[in-house]
Structure 1
Amino acid sequence: MPLKLYNSLTRQKEIFKPITPPHVGMYVCGPTVSGESHLGHARPYITFDVVVRYLTYLGYKVRYVRNITDAGHFEEEGREAEDKISKKAQLEKVEPMELVQKYTNLFHWAMKQFNTLDPNIEPTATGHIVEQINMIEKIIEAGYGYVVNGSVYFDVKKYAATHNYGELSGRIVDDLLETTRSLEGQDEKRNKADFALWKSAPPQHIMRWKSPWGEGFPGWHIECSAMATKYLGSRFDIHGGGMDLQFPHHESEIAQSWICNHVEPAKYWMHNNMITINGKKMGKSYNNVIKLTEMFSGNHPLLTQAFNPMTIRFFILQTHYRSTLDFSSEALVAAEKGLKRLWEAYEILKKLKSANIDLPADSELDNKINKLIDEFDEFMNDDFNTAKVLANIFEIVPVINSLKDGLIRKDAISSATLHRTKDVFTIYLENILGLQSLSQNNETLNGVMELLADIRKEAKSKRDFYTSDKIRKQLAELGIEMKDEKDGSISWSAG
């Protein structure tokens, strides 16, 4: 069965055929590092981590590009125009790039806790201002961009006359032209639906760059178009992101890229669904946003305990990526128990020796196990259905548990099936699903913290207070408190 994935652009599952096999180019929209990552951010990056892992398992050579949005983007839909990073920097009384570095480090740390693979390339918006300006110049030259008071806008109405603007998101252009609200400072646009390619920076705006139209900063959408084009070419295989990015972000990316490169930028568009909390959309207005450090420490009113990052990863993979995932503390507690049960069986499986069960196998059970394993690839080839894979794995768990003492011989599986089960469990649990044991994850963190505590203790003994204070300060930024105890020891706690 060939790999099929759901293409958001065509709204159907399609057989995956890379443009230049065996190479695969994949671009995923990364975080805007104006604040700490929250639970909603975990889903896309874990989802597309599994996509990369499975494509690699199939033998493809993947170039995974995930950007960092470090230039405060201009909000296009439903909010006031603002530079999120400049605004937050002023609140925290730091330089914008200091803020960016802080939250980029925190994002990377959280992704390590989830055992996600690093992207092959992680470009930043501020590092590609030249490429964005060049792209905007092409759009203006083609007649689809216009300059007003030092700002540049994309002419959606003109584009829609010859292109299907709204194809990805299902929006109707006439409705957009009539109903899109005019935001503060946008009365200079020809049409309400036009979006900013470049914004003139007012005097109080901290982050600003020189351009042919005056000092300003890039629009949100042009950043991804420029970086994707530079590192993956004018047309690449997969563009991924959360469903909330379909409009206006990805729709606008398509329009920009069509005008500049005369081709649809991505062959396949993949979007993960949202995480809800107790049936409500997660958002600041509902006061239900949970930061990742709060998840790991349990320091949030909606949480009954701290949760290991592996529990969260496992919880996310138990549901198909295109389905809504409803979070509750109780659901995570259940996921924690499930992962613990699964990993205990996996540890038993790794220790089993064929000599213990080298007797005539129960052919019916043997066939059942092999059929369940055969379906692993079938499910993943059906639009990366991790939920069904895990369901099959849990059907095998009781059989593994029955073999742990080698006494239940009437239900024994053959040596060949045992070896196959061992190999496939390792491939799927560790390599494709990217899971780790709860204890392994904790041991890794404990080991790192003990090392940092030793370094800090040694620095203090040498009166190197700069290093000792830096360790404590940067850990505090990650939500981890390191304390000097009265007996001279150093302790730490998350939250």
Structure 2
Amino acid sequence: MSQLKVFNSYTRQKEVFKSIVDGHVGMYVCGPTVSGESHLGHARPYITFDIIYRYLMHLGNKVRYVRNITDAGHFEEEGREAEDKISKKAVIEKLEPMELVQKYTNLFHWAMLQFNNIEPNIEPTATGHIVEQINMIEKIIEDGFAYVVNGSVYFDVKKYAETHEYGKLSGRKIDDLLETTRELEGQDEKRNKQDFALWKAAPPEHIMRWKSPWGEGFPGWHIECSAMATKYLGHEFDIHGGGMDLQFPHHESEIAQSTICNGHAPVRYWLHNNMITINGRKMGKSYNNQIMLTQMFSGDHPLLEKGYSPMTIRFFILQTHYRSTLDFGNEALLAAEKGLKRLWEAYETLQKLPATDNATPADTELDEKVKKLISEFEEFMNDDFNTAKVLANMFELVPVINGIKDKHIAANAMSATTFALLKSSFKTYLEDILGMRSENETNNGKLDGVMQLLIEMRKEARGKKDYATSDKIRNQLLEMGILLKDEKGGDMSYSFE
């Protein structure tokens, strides 16, 4: 059996994975900022780390998977520093900030359920860990690596860089950071431009605020993850994951904070998935090509020819190695849809084929070919989770499966042992590890949960007199054969037409 190797972003090389405690793995993945609906950019990291989570468990590990929810505003290091995304959106939607947080957290969870992602073991929120963040900041100040100005606290990057490597993960040099840091609000408070905020004093209009030793304010983005990862995974843990866009400044800053606070580097293996593009362009509001997951499923977006099922999107993502860029285009998605249909039909055919009792294969060459293709499943997954190659091997086995069904290949061509291995391996890898499930799979409990979510969204729209959205939800459900009924007292129910 080959050893699992992972590409460590920190060392920029593949390394044999060895957990701190044998048989136990601690993994932290940066979760979403729930200031809006989940978009296509959320699909890739959480599907990627769902696969990693599944495979680590398949290898016999007990995994503690921690994925946070950022609900404390999270001002941008690359934009207006004091801007609170959640408070700003709450004002627009006329909701309490935590009401908005709950709404979009629910939508995020719903989307992850559609993708068949397993829930993390712990999902801490930033607002639930203000005390831990303040404690970390106090320790960093005490050790002389942070300073207080006008009620805000900044991490002293220049001082840290005198004795530590700041910029190693992202490949940035501290001298370059001095020259390239943008002019941001509050920069004149800092000793150096590259210093980042651990705590920000809250201006009078800021809704989300907490008491601290430095006055009322709110935590910096980076300190949230350091505090939660330390609390649930310890001073040093095995894997920290996220998208490549988080390497700087977020993960770089996490390393600095945690190293000072805990006395050593916090993470053994840094894993990062690459970015996605839409028709060759980076996804972003400025390009007007940000596609929400609900739009992806429904096709209700000018860049989409049609809607694509969650399993098609999951399959499409897994056809490319997680460290390669991935372009979402209609042509590629349509091809993925067809490919998934072909593969799943072959899998269902395989499950129905009767077992044979022949001890020796009639076609030794075919038997050896099938065994080799199956044995490579594990080899490819152990090579930095290469799902693309596993799927390629599965497609090579499709003609064999179809050949037996159509009687072009004799039922006894393979030995009974090889045939049993083919059946069990397909199920283990396609369903248990890659997390694929039938497009036609119906779970009434899940469906009811989704419907209740849509009913709540329609009620909310009607309450705001947003009749366009209210009618759109009702009409689109009607097109799918689901009738929403308005009951007495403002309640709603649904039935299938």
- Answer yes or no: same fold by TM over 0.5: yes
| Pairing 1:275–2:276 present | yes
Instruction: Give 1:340 shift.
Output: 0.6
Query: Unpaired segments of 5 or more residues in structure 1?
Result: 457-466
SS of 1:48's equivalent? helix
Contact residue 357 and residue 412 of structure 1 kept, 8 A: no
Q: Report the Cα offset of residue 89 of structure 1.
A: 0.5
Matches within 5 A, 1:70-469: 70-78=71-79, 81-355=82-356, 360-406=361-407, 408-409=409-410, 412-440=413-441, 443-444=442-443, 448-449=446-447
Contact 1:34 1:70 in 2 (8 A): yes
Distance in 1 (alpha carbons) for counterparts of 2:175 and 2:244: 22
Alignment of 1:28 onto 2:24: no
Distance change in 2, residues 1:450/1:71 (3 Å)? closer
Q: Deviations over 1:141-185 (max 9, x none)?
A: 000110000000000011011110001000000111222012022
Aligned equivalents of 1:471, 1:126: Cα separation in 2: 25
| Matched-pair contact (CA < 8 Å) for 1:315–1:335 | yes
Counterpart of 1:372 in structure 2: which amino acid?
L
For residues 124 and 305 of structure 2, what CA distance do their matches in structure 1 show? 38
Tell me: CA distance 1:410–1:226, structure 2 relative to 1, closer, same or farther (3 Å).
Answer: closer
What is the CA-CA distance between 1:434 and the residue it aligns to?
A: 0.2
Helix, strand or coil: the match of 1:207?
A: coil
Q: Does the Cα contact within 8 Å between 1:74 and 1:219 map onto a contact in 2?
A: yes
Q: Which residue of 1 aligns with 2:464?
A: none
CA distance 1:452–1:131, shift in 2 (3 Å): closer
The CA RMSD measured in Å over matched residues stands at: 2.5
Aligned position for 1:460: none
Verify the 8 A CA contact 2:356 2:412 in the aligned structure 1: no
Alignment correspondent of 1:464: none
Aligned-partner residue type, residue 324 of structure 2: S
CA contact (8 A) 1:362 1:410 kept: no
Once residues 117 and 11 of structure 1 are traced to their aligned partners in structure 2, the CA distance between those partners, rounded to angstroms, is 29
1:43 aligns with 2:44: yes
Kindly indicate whether the alpha-carbon contact (under 8 Å) linking 1:50 and 1:433 is maintained by their aligned counterparts in 2. yes
Cα contact 2:359–2:417 (8 A) shared by 1: no
- Conservation of the 8 A alpha-carbon contact between 2:361 and 2:412: no
Q: Distance in 2 between matches of 1:370 and 1:305?
A: 39
Equivalent-residue separation in structure 1 for 2:38 and 2:192 (angstroms): 34
Contact 1:28 1:66 in 2 (8 A): yes
Q: Please give the alpha-carbon distance, in whole angstroms, between the structure 1 residues aligned to 2:106 and 2:439.
A: 24
Preserved contact between residue 480 and residue 492 of structure 1 (Cα < 8 Å): no
Match of 1:62 in 2: 63
Could you give the per-residue CA deviations for residues 247-283 of structure 1, whole angstroms, max 9, x where no partner exists?
0000000000010001111000000000011111111
Verify the 8 A CA contact 2:400 2:409 in the aligned structure 1: no
Helix, strand or coil: the match of 2:189? coil
Q: Which amino acid aligns with 2:130?
A: I
Contact 2:241 2:271 in 1 (8 A): yes
Scaled by the length of structure 2, the TM-score of the pair is 0.91
Q: Secondary structure of 1:187's match?
A: helix
Summarize the Cα distance change of 1:171–1:452 in structure 2 as closer, same or farther, 3 Å threshold.
closer
The answer to whether the Cα contact below 8 Å between 2:50 and 2:118 also exists between their aligned partners in 1 is yes
- Looking at structure 2, the residues matched to 327 and 86 of structure 1 have their Cα atoms a distance apart, in angstroms, of 32
Counterpart residue number, 1:473: 459
The answer as to whether partners of 1:81 and 1:183 remain within 8 angstroms in 2 is: no
- Greater mean alpha carbon deviation, residues 368-377 or residues 180-189: 180-189
Taking the aligned partners of 2:337 and 2:415, their CA distance within structure 1 comes to: 31
Stretch of structure 1 that moved more, 397-406 or 59-68: 397-406
8 Å CA contact 1:319, 1:386 repeated in 2: yes
Deviation at 1:121, TM superposition (A): 0.3
Alpha carbons of 1:378 and 1:409: their partners in 2 closer, same or farther (altered >3 Å)?
same
